[in-house]
Every structure is written in C-alpha cells, then in structure tokens.
Amino acid sequence: MTPMAKQHGAATPARNWSGAELAGPALRTFFRIAEAWKLSADEARRLLGDPPRSTYFLWKRTGEGQLSRDTLERISYVLGIYKALQILLPQKEAADAWVRRPNTAPLFGGKPALARMLSGNVADLYVVRQYLDAQRGGWN
C-alpha cells in the first residue's frame, strides 16, 4: 500500500489464501452441509468430483487433506448453494430438504436440484448456484 493510500485510510488489500490453508475449513464445512442434506457417501463423493473412496473417508475422518483447484471450486459452489437456501428458506429443515424435492423450474425438469448437482459436472453446481442467487435477487 502506498503512503498516500495509508494516509487516506484505504483498506488493506485482501489476503490471497492458498489451497492448503482453505482445505481444512472447506472440508469440515462441506461435511456439515452433507450431513444436513443427508447425502450418502456416494452422493458426497460425486459433489466433490469423485475422489477415491479411501481419500474421501480420510478427508471425512480428519477434516483435512490436499484439495485440487477443481475440488475447492466444487465446495465453493456447494457453500454458495447452502447459503442461498438458508436465505431463501429461513426454516432450516425446509432449506436442507430443498435439494431433494422435485422442482418444477425448467432448469430441473421436475427432478430435484440434487439430481442436476450429481451429474458430475462442476458447471451444473454453478447453474444451481446461479439459479438460487437469481431467485434471491443477487450475489450477496
């Protein structure tokens, strides 16, 4: 930060977190969401990008691990979906059940959002996140 910026009270630049620093908190949060959504191990693995079963269960047991950029991106979308649902459906039970309920929105074709999320494509996680963000009127 320049001396001029300090003098005028400019904010400190955002910290660039490394994947290693984010892995533990990301995994622990993901597994709490997976529990709230009542995901099976296979469903949770699919959302994470299909890591080997042994890796998945190590992550679940320890809450730590080395994550690829793809896995971190997937977890980020799941966190965003979870947050949007908590805002749109303030009753926790309704928010957590939403992913499994059939959905008449054209995007889902009468199937639950979880079916789309489990396609294996990170883009489908993005689409569900984008849909929910649009429903609540923005990205905040």
Q: What sign does the CA torsion over 43, 124, 108, 98 have? A: positive
Question: If you write DSSP's letter for every residue of 12-40 in order, what string do you get?
Answer: PPPP---HHHHHHHHHHHHHHHHHHTT--
What pLDDT score was predicted for residue 98? 97
Over residues 65-70, mean pLDDT: 93
Q: pLDDT value at position 137?
A: 82
pLDDT at position 15, please? 56
Q: Can you give the residue ranges of every domain in the chain?
A: 20-136
